[in-house]
Amino acid sequence: MYQKLSTFQPTIFLLCFLLVLNIGSACAEEPTSPTKPAYLIQEIRSNLQGDALSIEIIGDSSPVYTMYDLFNPPRLILDIANAGLDKKINPNQIIPDNSYAKVITKPMTDQDPSILRFEITIKESHTYSIDREQNNLLLLIQPKTETAQAAVPATATDAVAPSATAPIKLHEVVINKGPAQTKVLILADSPLTDFRHNIVVGKKDLPDMMFIDLNGVDGSELVRETEVGTALSKIRIAPKGTGLRLLFESGLPALFAYTVTSDPQGLLVTIEEAKADSPPEITNALANPADTALDGIIGSTVTATSKATAPENSGGKNTTTAREDSFNFGGYKDTKRISVDFFKIDLHNVFRLFREISGVNIIVDESVKGSLTLALNDVPWDFALDIILNLKDLRKEERYNTIVIYPTNKEFFWPERTEENLSVEADLEIVQQETLIIEQSAAQSEEIIKSKELIAKGRIELKNENIEKAIEYYEQALKLDPKNARLSNRLASLYLVNLGINAKAVYFAKETLKIEPKNTQAALYAAIGLANMNQIGEATDYFAQSISDPIPSKEALISYASFCEQNGQPDNALKLIARYNTIYGESVETMVSKARIYDQMGQSRKADEQYSALLASGYPLEPGLKQYIQSRLSSNQDPGI
C-alpha cells in the first residue's frame, strides 16, 4: 500500500532529512536511512488484566502514524513513520503471553520514509481503540461490548444502559448564560457517563480550549458549531471514533474554570465567568493535565498549526521553519496548515471537512467508499488530502476552484465549453449549483432543509432574547417538519418557562408525546402546565408518566412532590422526596420540603428533627431561613409547649 506514496517521496524525504538536521543528527550514506530515527520509541509498557490488555508506546517526539484493519485473520496494522526501537526493548517480548492478542514488529526500511510496523493479531471476540497523548500512543484491546455486558450481573441500571447496537442519541446543546456561570447541557436519551475531558493550551493565535470525548453516542442532530460569546467563545462538534468530540474554546486570555458532570438529561458543563489566572481544576480522574498537544482537536477536525521553538541542538533553525521549507519544495505553498486525527471516519465526511477547511468545492464520485484512520500533525491541508488519495487508490482533478475525486480505475473529463459563449464564472456557478444539489439530495427533503433554516433563525433570536420571534420561527419549522419531537418539546419549554402560557405549553407537550410516547420530559411539561391550570386529575397522570424512567430527573421528582404537597397528598410527597434522596442525595430543598410536610401533617417532632438535621448538614442557608429554623426550634424547647 505504501508504494502508492511514490509521488510524494521527494517531499517526505526532504521533510525527514531536515528534521534530522534540526536535532543535530548526521545522515548515513543512504539518504532514506537516517542513523537516528525521528521518533525513537524509548519504552513499551504493557498491562494485562484478565481479558483486557493495554499497550503504551512511549516516544521522544510527536509520532506520525497511520493504522488500518486487515482480515483473515483479523489484525490491526499500526505504521509509525521514521520510528525505531530503543536497544533495551526486546521486539519479541512486546506483550505478555495471552490467548487473544499477539504483536509482531517489522521494520520496513525499503519504504520512503522508513516505517516501523506493529502487526497486532486480535481475536474476533475483542476490539481495540487507540489514542495519542502528546508523544505517546495508547492501544487498548478489550472484549467486545456484548461480551463485557454478558459478564456483568443484571442490575436496576441495566434498563438505562446504552445497547451495543443502539448508541445514545444526543438531541440538543442548551446554553444558559448567567453573570457568574454559563451552563451547557447536552440533552440526550439518558445520562452520559462514558466520557473523557481534558485541556489544550492554545498556541500562536489559537485560544485555550477544553474538549470532551463522548463514546457510543449519535450526534447527527447537533449543530456543528455554536457561538456563545461569554467566557466560552464557541462550541464545535465533530465525529471521533465511535462517538463525538466537543471542543469548548475559551473567550478569555486563559482557559476558564469548568466542571463536567453526568446529568439525568445527558451531560452538564459549567463554565465559570470569572477570569482565571491559572488552568482549571480537572474534575475527572481520567483527565491528564499534561495533555496539552493539539490532539487532532475535535476528532476529524482542523486547527491552525502551532508555533514551535527551536530545539537546543538545532543550530538555531526552527523546526516549524524546516517543515515549511520542505513543504514549499514539494509544491505545497501558502496553504492552511492543519493537524488531523481520523479514527475509522467515513471518507465522505473526511472530504466534507476538507471542503470546510479550504473553501474549495469538492465533488466525490458516488463509488468512493470506505473509512480511514490517519494521524498527521502540522501539515498543509492539500498535502494531507494527497496522502489520503494515495492510501485509498483515488485521484483528483482540479479546475476552477473545484476538486473532483474519483477512483483511479475510472476516467473523468471536464466539460468542454471554451468554444461556447460561456465564461469561466458561468462554469463555476454551474458546478457550485450541482454541488449544492448533490448535498441536498444526499441529506433531507426540501421541507426538512427549510425547517432547519428556520430553526437556525430561531436560535439567533433566542440568543438575542427575542423569545416571541424565536417561537414564531420554531412554529413555522414545525409545520414543515411535524415529526420533529425535539422541536415541539422545545416550544413546550419556551411557552411554559419563558412566557408562562400554560395552554400552549400543554398543547406542544402533547404533540411531542404523540411522536414519542415515552418522552418523560414532555410529560413533565404537560403536567406542570395542567397543574397551573388547576386540572388536577389530568396533571396527576402526566406527573406519574414524568417519573416513569428507571432514574427520573430531579425536576420531575421535585415538581411531582410539590404538586402532591399542594393537593393534599402528603404521603405521596414524602415518598417522592425519599426516592429523590435515594438517587441524588439530600438537598436543602428536599430537607425543607420534608420538614414543611411534617408540619402540615401535625407531626412537629419529625419536623423539628428535619430542621435540626438541616442546621447540622453544612449546607449554606439563606439568613431568613436559618433564623426561622433557630427561632422555631428554640420555641419548641419551652417545657410549656
Instruction: Note the pLDDT tens digit of each residue in 252-267.
Output: 878 888 899 888 888 9
* Residues 454-501 pLDDT 10s: 888 888 888 888 888 899 999 999 998 898 999 999 999 999 988 889
Among residues 336, 337, 362, 360, which one has the least CA distance to residue 347?
362
* Residues 172-211 pLDDT 10s: 888 888 888 899 999 888 888 888 888 776 655 677 788 8
pLDDT in the model for residue 526: 92
pLDDT in the model for residue 25: 38
Report the C-alpha gap between 525 and 548 in whole angstroms.
14
* Residues 5-20 pLDDT 10s: 333 344 334 334 334 3
Report the C-alpha gap between 57 and 562 in whole angstroms.
56
Reply yes or no on whether the pLDDT at 509 is more than 70: yes
pLDDT in the model for residue 317: 44
Could you give the domains of the chain? Answer: 38-146 (2.60.40.3500), 167-272 (2.60.40.3500), 349-442 (3.55.50.30), 453-636 (1.25.40.10)
Report the C-alpha gap between 632 and 506 in whole angstroms.
40
Q: What is the mean pLDDT of residues 404-409?
A: 87
Reply yes or no on whether the pLDDT at 269 is more than 90: yes
Q: What is the mean pLDDT of residues 156-168?
A: 49
Kindly indicate the confidence band of residue 324, based on its pLDDT and cuts at 50, 70 and 90. Answer: low
Report the C-alpha gap between 69 and 147 in whole angstroms.
21
Per the CB < 8 A criterion, the answer to whether 432 and 361 are in contact is yes
pLDDT in the model for residue 9: 41
Reply yes or no on whether the pLDDT at 1 is more than 60: no
3-state secondary structure of 220: coil
Residue 314: how many CB atoms within 10 A of its CB? 17
Query: Count of residues for the chain?
Result: 641
pLDDT in the model for residue 28: 39
- Per-chain mean pLDDT for the chain: 75
pLDDT in the model for residue 141: 86
What is the dihedral sign for C-alpha 283, 284, 286, 290?
Answer: negative
Per the CB < 8 A criterion, the answer to whether 495 and 508 are in contact is yes
Residue 493 CB partners (closer than 8 Å, separation 6+) = 505, 525
Sequential DSSP letters for 432-462: HHHHHHHHHHHS--HHHHHHHHHHHHHHHHH
DSSP 284: -
For residue 597, report the phi and psi dihedrals to the nearest 5 degrees.
-65, -45
Letter for the amino acid at 505?
A: A
Query: Bigger pLDDT: 221 or 249?
Result: 249
Least confident among 154-168, 549-563, 577-591: 154-168
- Write the burial class of residue 528 (CB in 10 Å: 0-12 exposed, 13-18 middle, 19+ buried): buried
Report the C-alpha gap between 549 and 566 in whole angstroms.
24
Q: Distance between alpha carbon 325 and the CA centroid of its chain, in Å?
A: 35
Reply yes or no on whether the pLDDT at 227 is more than 50: yes
* Residues 47-63 pLDDT 10s: 888 788 889 999 988 88
pLDDT in the model for residue 268: 92
pTM, whole model, 2 decimals? Answer: 0.36
Reply yes or no on whether the pLDDT at 275 is more than 80: no
Q: In angstroms, what CA-CA distances link 38 with 19, 83, 109, 113?
A: 7, 6, 14, 10
Letter for the amino acid at 343?
A: F
pLDDT in the model for residue 204: 56
pLDDT in the model for residue 519: 92
Sequential DSSP letters for 547-563: T-SSS--HHHHHHHHHH
Q: Distance between alpha carbon 554 and the CA centroid of its chain, in Å?
A: 25
